[in-house]
Structure 1
């Protein structure tokens, strides 16, 4: 699978409208400010070439992106910092139409099957994502949104990178869904974005923080090597079996979600295959979308960060007991249920006391952590030539035990990207209790389907 990436062109994409207000500034909210030291958000999709002339794809994507930016002018802007006499700063998104970045690249000799068939994610896929080493605070001079379209022999990969201070995962998927709607010929958006940020009543504005300096926490990044990544497919039928097993332990009075039970299953397997002392505390970290938990709700089209994170802890022994699956799922359920508007506001007031910017080690720590969501509109990201055959998140903000989940092609299916050292991953793959719930699949296809596809593709080359 020897191949290399060659950049063909780079372009700044500006708003299609000439009537943009280049003086508009949008103040970052408290959830946005907290992530300035973290990595950018990255997600990518693998597609077959459209039946139409593939030579028109790049220009069509550039044009449709330009029209979409008319509705999302922040993505074509940059971060702006206003310094204060006391050494603090206020941060804004300056909608100055400097431009989003479009990169056109070529992966010579690389096919779709070269990406789909390996058990582990091929390292070259990480080069399909732009700005993998950048931090969010660098949005003062780096683009807030970048797309890299990498041509393969028989398809292409679209890698998207967005500044996390601008948007969380849900907001990014909202933008991509809108762009794909326009690419397919739509003129108006089904769900236009909500631009302005939410703030606590009575808070002093503009908010002030200690803005990060170039080079902050570089050593922390250098000490976090990229780990092998593997994707596990869980069918709806297998998840139902896990849920029934957990529910039989906790009884009918407790409502467990499919995702919580599946994450408990994964957490148990990861801990079980590391030989951890039964008395040692182990942690699981999850993020909670707070949009629907506010009064009034912020709405699914809120373009910004609207997340809080929660952690649950148990001893390894408690987690690995026979009833550990149900107990872990129930504890996750309790953590999520705690996030009422009152709790969220309390957390924000506590943060306002020191206004600490999160670091990667503080964000993840010694925990298995979950990101992504099976509710993201993965299969709505159709630019006019078909649904993706695979989705992957980029290498940013990943550590030992990071899990990223996406929906599968069949209703109720869930795919989970897992990052672990190779020896632990191999042990996990030999764990019959864990693998019994896994359905063999490649990309968004079962193993049997992909073998037929590969034979057809190879014979046509």
Structure 2
């Protein structure tokens, strides 16, 4: 297999760049992620065949993508800024904000010699050595994104018969909703062309922090921040990733089964799908019956506030941590089965009211707790992303993507990444686990009967 060749690196600034003095303060939802990796997700496309790029396809394409990215940064201008760190020596506290200075995003054009679309999509296990090379800023933690480091880095990688667009964004500035809102806007501007970019259907992002008025004061000052930075990076065991595909029909059957077992209609399709996965992982890890196992389910808060935060709010609006964790004995997971496990997840999510949100914010400011790779990976399954995000609608002007992949960011044992599948109503789950666990799951007929090959 060939290696990556870097053709060019440029800085893309907003098209109508002007010096801005605005700063956007980070909230507790943002700050809790300072010691984690960036969000790294990308889309795989067949190589464009449009006459627009026939003469010199890739250089013309990269120039088009750079120009459309510049137009997109006019709208998402904080992503063209830099992370600003303010240290107060008198009380040894540190605060973080986004400096909207228009410094720009990094844009790299690369070539993966000898790599085809099939090498990515048809491999049973995700070919990490290839996929990870499609992304920039691997291993850079969010708090390190200050000074010269961009908040957004894009790598366009040319394959033999395809194109991979990999985006890296500072996770202390955006969550999954914000990430895909940006991607959806960029792809639409690219598809429509610069003359029509003012008529796009995507709503503009919302940057305001007024919803925090009466709850907490900004900026939030973190005491002794430097002492919280791990001296050594968390070292995960040797892990592999596999993508499991679930059709709309199979998901519906599983949901009906879970709800019927518990005599309810409240178990969602995602809860029953994650429960199905948890049961299989527990069974194939061969845990002792009295050994504790956990599932950490992040809870989105945009719609739980009153009034709700707009979907296009740019920032993190997700709760992590112990109160978002379902804990059970391994024997209980296996004996009680799908319906019970899914119902426990459903009950935990339902607990997160606006009152609980307010309590979290107020308590966090008094005693900040930063997430790390180590405490996120403590013998638990952890879900990220959502099937609600519009992944396969990202047509940049030459057709829909044929696949979505992640890089190494925040990959630990038990990391479960959820995406909408390529067919309407289907769901893809990328499981990051030990090789022996993935192999055992592939031979687990109860689990694989629901997987669409």
Q: TM-score of the superposition, structure 1-length normalised?
A: 0.91
Structure 1 gaps, min length 5: 441-461
Aligned residues: 435
For residue 131 of structure 1, what is the aligned residue in structure 2? 137
Query: Relative to 1, partners in 2 of residues 1:40 and 1:225: Cα closer, same or farther, differing over 3 Å?
Result: farther
Does structure 1 retain, via aligned residues, the 8 Å contact 2:238–2:434?
no
Query: Relative to 1, partners in 2 of residues 1:210 and 1:124: Cα closer, same or farther, differing over 3 Å?
Result: farther
The alpha-carbon deviation at position 352 of structure 1 amounts to 1.6
The alpha-carbon deviation at position 411 of structure 1 amounts to 2.3
For residue 206 of structure 2, what is the aligned residue in structure 1? 194
Q: CA separation in 2, counterparts of 1:331 and 1:352?
A: 29
Q: Does 1:364 align with 2:387?
A: no
Q: Deviations over 1:273-302 (max 9, x none)?
A: 011111111100111110011011111100
Map 1:74-223; keep pairs closer than 5 Å: 74-84=78-88, 85-122=90-127, 123-141=129-147, 142-185=149-192, 186-188=196-198, 189=200, 190-197=202-209, 198-201=211-214, 203-210=216-223, 212-213=225-226, 216-217=229-230, 219-221=232-234, 223=235
Q: Does 1:382 align with 2:395?
A: yes
Q: CA separation in 2, counterparts of 1:109 and 1:215?
A: 43
Does structure 2 retain, via aligned residues, the 8 Å contact 1:30–1:199?
no
Query: Relative to 1, partners in 2 of residues 1:341 and 1:72: Cα closer, same or farther, differing over 3 Å?
Result: same
Q: CA separation in 2, counterparts of 1:202 and 1:394?
A: 36
For residue 443 of structure 1, what is the aligned residue in structure 2? none
Query: Relative to 1, partners in 2 of residues 1:218 and 1:439: Cα closer, same or farther, differing over 3 Å?
Result: farther
Q: Does 1:284 align with 2:295?
A: yes
Structure 2 gaps, min length 5: none
For residue 29 of structure 1, what is the aligned residue in structure 2? 27
Q: Deviations over 1:146-180 (max 9, x none)?
A: 01011001111111000011100110000110111
Q: Deviations over 1:115-159 (max 9, x none)?
A: 111111112111111111000001113110001011001111111
For residue 3 of structure 2, what is the aligned residue in structure 1? 4
For residue 318 of structure 1, what is the aligned residue in structure 2? 332
Query: Relative to 1, partners in 2 of residues 1:108 and 1:182: Cα closer, same or farther, differing over 3 Å?
Result: same
Q: TM-score of the superposition, structure 2-length normalised?
A: 0.93
For residue 72 of structure 1, what is the aligned residue in structure 2? 76
Q: CA separation in 2, counterparts of 1:296 and 1:21?
A: 33
Q: CA separation in 1, counterparts of 2:222 and 2:37?
A: 19
Q: Deviations over 1:398-446 (max 9, x none)?
A: 1111110101122221100001111111111001111111100xxxxxx
Q: Deviations over 1:239-279 (max 9, x none)?
A: 1221222222111x342111110100000000100111111
For residue 345 of structure 1, what is the aligned residue in structure 2? 358
Q: Deviations over 1:318-368 (max 9, x none)?
A: 1101x4210110011111111110111111122122112221222332211
